[in-house]
Amino acid sequence: MAKNKLNKNWLHDHINDPYVKLAQKEGYRARAAYKLKEIDEAEKIIKPGQVIVDLGSTPGSWSQYVRRKLSGKEGGGINGTMIGLDMLPMEPIADVDFILGDFREARVLRQLDKILEGRKVDVVLSDMAPNLSGIPTADAARMEHLIDLAIEFSQFHLKPPGVLVVKCFKDMGFSQIVETFRREFKVVKQVKPKASRDKSSEIFLVGRGLKSPTEKNLSAEDEPALDI
């Protein structure tokens, strides 16, 4: 009974959610598009001409937002390159290259390299989240692992001044994730979009400018302060 009531409450909140209604009106596949929109408007991340990769892109609302930022009307071409990667299928989006598979696999990376044609990436986006087990320590470890994968991907593919945006949760190893970001990026900010549900501990980290090996070796007291 309690589970049924919980499901009904969630469904009621979802149907009446203003961002769900706005997504339906504006043609976005999910309300998550407005989270990225708020982050982008605050941090000025996405610009025409860029090469952008969306990790865990399905169902595609983040890719849709980026695609609109890189051009005008759908189907009219874009000023830049937008690539989505996911282990789940994604319905096609005009002008967006989609690669199905695990981005750690050689096959997927070969497809990515073919699209990039030797170019580095300006922005890496990750809205990835683990399947929750309900065990706090296990869920925190899974979340940290996804963040580590996004950072590792960025180390190989991101331009030195590039930007990484990841989703995380304040109750899932957040302090350790922030420390990891501080080690890898010159500027780190946390953003809680209004489009994130009030009850959710969801928060987004924005890392800007990969540190060089020399910068990583700075002593703790000499490191740039966390900019949040």
Q: Binding site for S-adenosyl-L-methionine: which residues?
A: 60, 62, 86, 102, 127
Q: Which two three-digit tokens encode residue 172?
A: 């899932």
Q: What angle do CA 33, 36, 39 make, to 5 degrees?
A: 150
Q: How far is CA 27 from CA 23, 68, 169, 173, 204, in A?
A: 6, 11, 27, 34, 24
Q: Which of 129, 216, 226 has the alpha carbon at shortest distance from 187?
A: 226
d(CA 11, CA 99): 32
CB 216 within 8 A of CB 179: no
* DSSP helix/strand/coil, 97: strand
Q: Let me know if 35 is a catalytic residue.
A: no
**Which is catalytic among the residues 35, 37, 69, 167?**
167
Binding residues: 60, 62, 86, 102, 127
Strand order of the β-sheet with 96-100 is 96-100, 81-86, 51-55, 121-126, 158-169, 202-210, 185-191
d(CA 104, CA 88): 15
d(CA 43, CA 74): 25
Q: Give the gyration radius of the chain's Cα atoms.
A: 18
User: What are the catalytic residues?
Assistant: 167
